[in-house]
A and B are shown apart, each in its own frame.
Chain A
Amino acid sequence: MSNKKTKINFPPWGETPERERGLFVNNILKSYKDVAALKGISFEVQKNELFGLIGPDGAGKTTLMRILTTLLLPDSGHVTMDGADVVKNYKTIRKSIGYMPGRFSLYPDLSVEENLQFFATVFNTTVKKNYGLIKDIYSHIEPFKKRLAGRLSGGMKQKLALSCALIHKPKVLILDDPTTGVDAVSRREFWEMLKNLQKKDITIMVSTPYMDEASLCDRVALIQSGKIMDVDTPDAIVQKFGRKILAVKATETYRLINDLRGHHKAEAVYAFGQYIHFTAIDDDIEVTEMEQFLKNKNHQSIIVEEIVPGIEDVFMGLMKAPPSLP
């Protein structure tokens, strides 16, 4: 081995200064006893990017987030954040990141105001100093500032948690499943807030199991069973997919799914809301052919359309799992 003096800013594997990058994840492996949770994760997040980590529950998102936030040690691999290594320089990183864990992790017996003030002093700052940053978010819950945090609604808890994570003006904001258990309106508001924060010189990494949220990110990484399947902009991921997808609808949805799965060309059949998305082997299917097939099966009010695949279709396609049983 060469006697390299590892500089924090220039890890041995990088050619460009890490300072230029927001987050650099290189070949992370992590196992819990016999179960491999992360099987070689690598990706980069640019500075001031809104980066999504999309994957189902149990894919390894939380484990990865905890490694990024210095809470867990990877078995092997490196992560640098703003040039600092998450294992060696964990103290530096703990000063400069904002972290919002998956479940509500504030003090339920402290009021909204007390929670915020506590986290401000813990990070050596004051609410006043960085109020500008959280104003848009905190203003929603400010009328309830005397209320105990445990008595807030799901959406308000989430806003408070975000305010607390932001109060020290972190360079990197890491949000683990922030929209789980939050209503649709609050979710949309939340993503608008993230978009605004991005403009304030903050790199944001957010994980979510909701694939419809993927299109709101600048770039996304699709993760499944501890492996990254693709990293790209949502549009590029969809374009690369290039499969032909039929959206099918009829009155008897359950029988429709079974019939579609029974189709001899069926590769993937998934329900998306009221529609069933059908992917054929080698994309060898036409709308009229499908209509005829369903008519023969005596389905009523049949609608068959060819659609532009969404990120969810891509994800399902990439999972390459056999169509699961209903």
Chain B
Amino acid sequence: MKQLTSFIKKEFYHIFRDTRTLIILFGIPIAQLLIFGTVIKSEINDVKVAIYDQSKDDFTKRITNKLLSSGYFMLEEYLESTNDVEDIFRKGEVKEVIVFEGGFEESLIKEGKANIQLIADASDPNLGRLAINYTRAIINDFIKEEFPEMQMPYEIEPTARMFYNEELKSVYMFVPGTMAMILMLISAMMTSIAITREKEVGTMEILLVSPLKPIHIIIGKVTPYLLLSVINAVVILLIGHFVFGVPIQGSAILLMAESILFIMMALSLGILISTAAKNQMVAMFISLVALMLPTILLSGFIFPIDNMPTVLRWLSVVMPARWFIEILRDIMLKGSGVLFVWKETAILFGMMLFFILASVKKFKIRLE
């Protein structure tokens, strides 16, 4: 036990005496969160739209007003014929055209159904998709207000995102993703580097020729990073909540417990990387390229998993971050309890066990 505490103490010395480590540990996460939260938004503002209203009745006017007063859209002009649609897109200013069918009000009241056509300029696919989603959400909103007892008359598939995030605040989506990414980066990369550094400096040779057991070395290496990562998780949640106003609907304790589970999973992955990597360069390369990029691209953090090709969708199943992001969204935005996230929790737990077993098995008690 004394061996272990002295090892942990030594590890803290390493961390606090190296400015670069400190910057990576605390500077980068906060900077990343702020950058992702403010700059890389999937929000839209003042998107220029054109409206072709063939009905010009009370309903279409009210819908138009609601759209234009939302702050997301700005009216460029009213169109007079279908032919104008292509012309106006060619000019490049207008990103979306909203077409109301003739006799809109009539058919809505009589048949309970009316058609709106949304046409987006998909040369910027992301913006196009967002504009359509925003428009749909606003129209749905309008219909719900007007006919609370009625089924929605449009054939619209509301996605989870719209449903739970009616204002479509993108930052809500980015906080869980950024948190998963940062915890992955710090936990996996920093531990793998810390262990390979001992190999590189040559101190591992002395540690091996000592009564220290591999488990002592592993726990000693991991504990400081576990503590620091938990601090990081708390800081991220606090910034998310107080700076970006992300709600925490569910239990904060459950949220922390899940975060600790994810951190431990990432730490064991870091150890596994260190058993395979010969030096710090390789460890860093594996952590960054083989871990970070898939985490960003395949976890559903930036690109929705539902939109992926089947192969990538299958691949995303093995991304630990995917499950963590789902857990975070469930707890933070939906306020789900442990009963709703037990499956994802079990998957993360299984991954952690696998990484621990594999790294204890692969940990070399000798040099090669």
Binding site for B on A (CB under 8 A): 66, 69-73, 90-91, 94-95, 97, 99, 101, 103-110, 114, 117-119, 121-124, 164
Contacts and interface: CB of A to CB of B under 8 A. Distances in A.
Nearest to B10: A118
A100 to B, nearest CB: 8
Contacts, number: 73
Nearest to B198: A107
- Chain B interface size, as a band, is 20 to 34
Interface stretch (B13-21, B65-73, B112-120, B322-330): B13-21
A121 B6 contact: yes
B212 interface: yes
A73 B366 contact: yes
Interface of B: 2-3, 6-7, 10, 13-14, 17-18, 201-203, 205-212, 365-367
B18 A124 contact: no
Contact of A70 (B2, B3, B201, B209): B209
B14 A121 contact: no
Nearest to A161: B206
A105 B205 contact: yes
Nearest to A108: B201
17 contacts: A70-B209, A70-B366, A71-B367, A90-B365, A99-B209, A101-B206, A106-B206, A107-B13, A107-B14, A109-B17, A114-B10, A119-B206, A122-B3, A122-B212, A123-B210, A124-B2, A124-B211
Contacts of A90: 365
A218 to B, nearest CB: 24
Given A71-B366, A124-B211, A105 B206 contact: yes
B10 A72 contact: no
A121 B2 CA distance: 7
A123 B17 CA distance: 25
A71 B205 contact: yes
Contacts of A105: 201-203, 205-206
Contacts of B205: 71, 99, 101, 105
Contact of A94 (B2, B13, B17, B211): B211
A104 B200 CA distance: 11
A110 B367 contact: no
Nearest to B364: A71
